[in-house]
Amino acid sequence: MPPTPAALLHSSFYRFWPVADPVALAAQVRAMAQGLTGLIVLAPEGINGAVAGAPEAVQAFEAALQASRTLSDAARPLRFKHSACVTPPFGRLKVSVKPEIVALDLPAAAALPAPDEHDASHLSPQAWRELMARDDVVLLDNRNHFEWRLGRFRGAVDPGVQHFRDFVAYVETHAPAWRAAQRPVAMYCTGGVRCDKTAPWMRSLGLTVFQLDGGILNHLQTLPDADRDWEGECFVFDKRIALDARLQETGTDAEAVFDPALPDEAWRLARAKRLDEA
């Protein structure tokens, strides 16, 4: 029998790692994930995904991914962020191959260094908390406007992103002033993948960039008093919609998240309703 909703575990992960044959690897990952639901993307630059299922099935899948030398090694292991589920977050398992694991339309992307999710710019949740307390830091939210509107780190700047290019335009506009004032940028996103993809481009503009290791989800998972830093809810891209600072589902529905008067949010609302019916 399938697990009851209360027994479901959600696991999200990503890895920037050169993949010579994403199609072949997708077939392997699909076989590893049998019995789970979720969304997984393979690309020449790596893997990005989230799955859900019985805890023992999720753990077996994670162990299989860790054992795959195509995606990991002992020195640079995959990292997984966990949360319990009341609502089944996915209707089925989908493993796809795309040109990128996250597409952000960054300028001159081909000339940028490869993202490195293990470099020294990544701060633990405790070190992140200490950095946020500094007066000179730009605390930059690297998510969509509707995500910032729903919840954010206290004092975080909203770049007003309705489309990927909006983040690029915001940073390019403000980078000269940040550089002149020698202000470091503390950047965060939900799980870390957007920040890792964006950081090399921001450094190419002469900015000093720090990142929250593992993103918001790792911060909430690690610190029992995360609500000291976090206000509101954290949007998640699955049927649960939103989590609180203890990674518990809030009951918030899509109508409370998306503004149908904004074109980019109207289609997201329509898609969320379709997913809810799937």
DSSP letter string, 166-205: HHHHHHHHHHHHHHHTT--EEEE-SSSHHHHHHHHHHHHT
Length of the chain: 278
Tokens (6 digits) for 253: 């529905």
Q: Is 189 a known active-site residue?
A: yes
Of 223, 166, 158, the C-alpha closest to 187 is 158
CA-based radius of gyration for the chain: 18
Catalytically annotated residue among 85, 189, 195, 234: 189
Tokens (6 digits) for 76: 């640079």
Of 133, 235, 155, 244, the C-alpha closest to 191 is 235
DSSP letter string, 35-63: T-EEEEEEETTEEEEEEEE-HHHHHHHHH
**How many CB atoms within 10 Å of residue 166?**
15
Tokens (6 digits) for 261: 């008067």
Place of tokens 């481009």: 201
Helix (H, G, I), strand (E, B) or coil at 159: coil
Q: How many CA atoms lie within 13 A of 252 on its CB side?
A: 21
Decide: 264 and 258 in contact? Cβ < 8 Å.
Answer: no
Of 14, 12, 55, 13, the C-alpha closest to 35 is 55
Catalytic residues: 189
